[in-house]
Amino acid sequence: MDALTSGIIKSFLLHIALAGMLFASANLQMSKPTVMHVQLNPVMQEEQEKAVSAISVDQRAVERKIAQLKQAEDAKKRAEEKRIRDLERRAVQARKDREAEARRIKKLEQQRQAKLAEKRKAEAQAKKAREVEQKQRADAEKARKERLQAEQAAKAAAEKRKSEEDRLRQAEAQRKRQEEEAKRKAEAAEQARQKALQEQLLQEQLAQEQAARAKVRQQQVLGEVDKYKALIMQRIQSNLLIDEKMKGKQCRLNIRLGFNGLVTQANSLGGDKLVCEAALRAVRMADTLPVSKDKDVFEQLKNINLTIKPNL
């Protein structure tokens, strides 16, 4: 609509401009007392022809635009009417579908209720039959138990008499066995005491020997550990880049080693920052450090703490 309004305004202004030029030309001719032949400037004449042509073209464009807008509005109206008809048709179909579904569900529910009633009836009949069968079994079981109890009572009396006789014989035999067992246990206890005393003496002797060997071994291990710690310190010191600012300063390191001396981890535990950086750099440059092939020595070297002091 803005484009249409703009076209109309332009057309209106061109008409006014053309009328103004014609009016000015007429006034100019009337002010002359004599008749003159005026030849229009070709350029002005061409501009006027273009203006008239533009007015005619703009008018046709306006008419086409109006026709297009009307066609678009009609198409939009027809589409909206079609959409409403489709919605109404789908709503009617949905209502029919809901009614059909409700009828189907109602029929299924009636069938379910009928089957449920049949099931309940069958269950009631089965329950009654089970109760009759259970009563018959209970009566038969009661009679069987009463007969069995009578038989067991007679058998128990005979067994009790025989059991009493056997008990007296067993008591006498038990007394003799207990006396023999007591004597045997006393002898075994004395033997066990003697054996335990000997074993205790032997264990004490072995413990003393093991303690002595362990002490010697520990001293050997500690000596080897000190030796390899010194070798490790020597390797680190050889790679340590020293600065005068490090004089009198130190850093504690934690170093973890693989079985072949490979440095798997190195961390600072505190100290002068410059010394710590140089010490960690020296460890990385070494890559591998001296370690013992002795398992006990290596166990104390694989995770060690060292204090690095630059030799200044």
Instruction: Please state, in angstroms and rounded to a whole number, the distance separating the CA atoms of residues 51 and 194.
Output: 144
Alpha carbon separation from 205 to 201, 209, 211, 219, 268 (Å, rounded):
6, 6, 10, 21, 47
Whether 151 maps to a domain, the answer reads no
Whether 56 maps to a domain, the answer reads no
Residue 249 pLDDT greater than 50, yes or no:
yes
% of the chain at pLDDT higher than 70 = 82
CATH assignment of the domain containing 275: 3.30.1150.10
Count of domains in the chain?
1
pLDDT tens across 14-46, in order? 555 555 554 444 444 444 444 444 444 444 555
Residue range(s) defining the domain that contains residue 233: 221-308
Whether 287 maps to a domain, the answer reads yes
Beta-carbon count within 10 A of 261 CB: 19
pLDDT band at residue 55 under the 50/70/90 scheme: low
Question: Among residues 243, 306, 240, 295, which one has the least CA distance to residue 271?
Answer: 306
Whether 271 maps to a domain, the answer reads yes
